[in-house]
Amino acid sequence: MIKLAIMGLLFLCPFTNTDLTQFLDNFVESRECSKISLSGNLFSFKNKDNVKSEIEDFQLFIFDDGDLLSYRDVRAIKNEVHKNRMELLNMVKSKGSMIEIYVNESDDIIHELFMIVQGDDSSILFNANGKIRYEDLKNFNIDFDGSDELKKL
Query: Would residue 9 count as lying in a domain?
Result: no
> Is the pLDDT reported for residue 48 higher than 90?
no
The 10s digit of each residue's pLDDT in 86-125 is 999 889 987 788 899 999 998 889 999 999 999 888 899 9
Compute the distance between CA of residue 56 and CA of residue 51 in angstroms, rounded to an integer.
16
Query: Would residue 55 count as lying in a domain?
Result: yes
Query: Would residue 6 count as lying in a domain?
Result: no
Angle at 113 between CA 87 and CA 120, to 5 degrees: 90
Pick from 127, 150, 132: nearest CA to 25: 127
* 115, β-bridge pairs: 101, 126
Angle at 34 between CA 61 and CA 44, to 5 degrees: 55
Query: Would residue 7 count as lying in a domain?
Result: no
The 10s digit of each residue's pLDDT in 24-42 is 989 988 888 888 877 766 6
Query: Would residue 26 count as lying in a domain?
Result: yes
pLDDT above 70 as % of the chain: 71
Query: Would residue 63 count as lying in a domain?
Result: yes
Compute the distance between CA of residue 11 and CA of residue 130 in angstroms, rounded to an integer.
31
Domain with 121 in it: 17-151
Query: Would residue 140 count as lying in a domain?
Result: yes
Q: Give all strands (DSSP E) within the chain, no chain letters.
A: 34-46, 52-64, 87-94, 97-106, 109-118, 122-133
In the chain, the number of structural domains is 1
Query: Would residue 12 count as lying in a domain?
Result: no
